[in-house]
Amino acid sequence: MLTVDFDRLGLLPGDRVLDMGCGAGRHAFEMYRRGADVVAFDMDAEELAGVLELFGAMKEAGEVPEGAEADIKQGDALALPFADGEFDRVVAAEVLEHIPDDLGAIRELVRVLRPGGTLAVSVPRWLPEVINWKLSDDYHNVEGGHIRIYTDKELGDKITKAGLVAEGRDYAHGLHSPYWWIKCAVGVDNDDHPLARAYHRLLVWEIMKQPAVLRYAGKVLDPLIGKSMVLYFRKPDRSADLEHG
């Protein structure tokens, strides 16, 4: 289940890309499948081990183009172990809402992105997230949980002030917001509640079978109540501007 639109990001085969805060690796796997040279970065060594194992399985199964490479790196988002301008594309999906020093993390994302490169950042969208917080303290009062709710303007301002140019926004996972509202209302750990269980089956059907009716419903709901907001940015290339000036 992807949040980022890689065509909109401008991802090309051979691009060196960073998935910062990769988690279980969903975006890293898709970028690898598209022929990118991927680094999956996270603090969680156990999740990274699983990501590395699946990278290997993908290669063995012939799911990736010849020459594509993928690796993992463990570390801190506030001190990325990469050179300035090392990556053509950077993805930070559902990460910044967990980091106390989000400005420090944003500065690092901007630093490792090359001039002319693109960044995609996704976070929980303001309205669906506010509803979750109001319905349940347990939703966010957990170790490593969400510590802030961004408005579109706030996140966009923080990233443009760090030196990037905004290129647009999307909303995703409109079908998922009601699921989390249900979970927050009946208890976030109460997976056996009939309503939560029934809606979960619907989401599994959506992900596994992608029926046309749910694809259409998603397109209608994404702009209205999409659970995730995705912002796209480009790092100015001063040398290119001078050449064309």
Domain ranges of the chain: 6-125+134-172+226-237
Domain 6-125+134-172+226-237 has CATH 3.40.50.150: yes
Which pLDDT tens digit goes with each residue over 12-30?
999 999 999 999 999 999 9
Distance CA 57, CA 13 (A): 20
What pLDDT sits at residue 143? 86
**Per-residue confidence of the chain (245 residues) as pLDDT tens digits?**
899 999 999 999 999 999 999 999 999 999 999 999 999 999 999 999 999 999 999 999 999 999 999 999 999 999 999 999 999 999 999 999 999 999 999 999 999 999 999 999 999 999 999 999 999 999 999 888 999 999 999 999 999 999 999 999 999 999 999 999 999 999 999 999 999 999 999 999 998 999 999 999 999 999 999 999 999 999 999 876 555 55
Q: What is the pLDDT of residue 227?
A: 97
pLDDT at 83 (0 to 100): 98
Name the residue among 77, 83, 76 with its Cα closest to residue 111: 83
Q: What is the pLDDT of residue 240?
A: 63
pLDDT at 117: 98
Q: What is the pLDDT of residue 152?
A: 93
Yes or no: say if 3 and 230 are a contact pair by the CB < 8 Å rule. Answer: yes
Q: What is the 3-state secondary structure (H, E, C) of 87-116?
A: EEEEEEECCHHHCCCHHHHHHHHHHHEEEE
Report pLDDT for 7.
Answer: 96
Alpha carbon 187 to its chain's center: 26
Q: What pLDDT score does 144 carry? A: 87
pLDDT of residue 1: 81
Output the pLDDT for position 93.
97
> Burial level of 83, CB count in 10 A (0-12/13-18/19+)?
exposed
Q: Which are the contacts of 52, defined by CB distance < 8 A and separation ≥ 6?
A: 40, 71, 72
